[in-house]
Amino acid sequence: MAAEGVPRVAVCPGSYDPVTNGHIDIITRAANIFDKVVVGVANKPVRKEKTLFTGEERREFIKEATTGLENVEVEVFSSLLVEFARDQGASAIVKGLRAISDFEYEFEMNQLNKKLAPDLESVYIIASPNYSFLSSTGVKEMATFGGDVSDLVPGPVSEALSGRLER
Ligand code: ADP
């Protein structure tokens, strides 16, 4: 149990290249549970090659989309996730789960993180049905071919995508 008066902090890590309404949904729901949520924008994700947007751009998009959430902060990090979480004083890592494919990866990451930081708990929020099909990769692909993504991402992201990707 957390000591009385000590705020419960969670980190929401991801590459957010770019942030989607599905991410915002998870961040909002986490902010309803924890005293403070620090969104961690991974600057050197192990799994992905070059990102479309820089770390700072990705951070700005999330900051803009979460201005209404007073207990949410956004930081770029390039260290180990458990170290970032520790630096932020977090007791939990919050992740969104869409499908079985997410589960497999998260299951593995969970075991690794638990080994590195046994005191840090990982918490999983199931994607809302509206967003369970939504991924940053899918959005980028749609935008590349001129598809309308305005329902899927925050306004500034939609604009930036069409500026950068449309052929
Ligand atoms: P990753 O580097 O793990 O791919 P992402 O930026 O894609 O990171 O996503 C960050 C987190 O948000 C992950 O936990 C991912 O499962 C979750 N997530 C991504 N898209 C959605 C969505 N549409 N609904 C719920 N959770 C999502």
Report the pLDDT value the prediction gives residue 115, as an integer from 0 to 100: 96
Ligand 1 in contact with 110 (CB < 6 A)? no
Tokens 């497999």: give the residue. Answer: 104
The DSSP code for 89 is T
Residue 146 has pLDDT above 70, yes or no: yes
9-129 CATH fold: Rossmann fold (3.40.50)
Ligand 1 in contact with 136 (CB < 6 A)? yes
- Quick check: pTM over 0.85? yes
Cα dihedral sign for 45, 122, 106, 57? negative
pLDDT digits (tens, 9 = 90+) for 37-65: 999 999 975 655 789 999 999 999 999 99
Q: Which residue owns the Cα nearest ligand 1 atom 5?
A: 14
Q: Which residue owns the Cα nearest ligand 1 atom 8?
A: 14
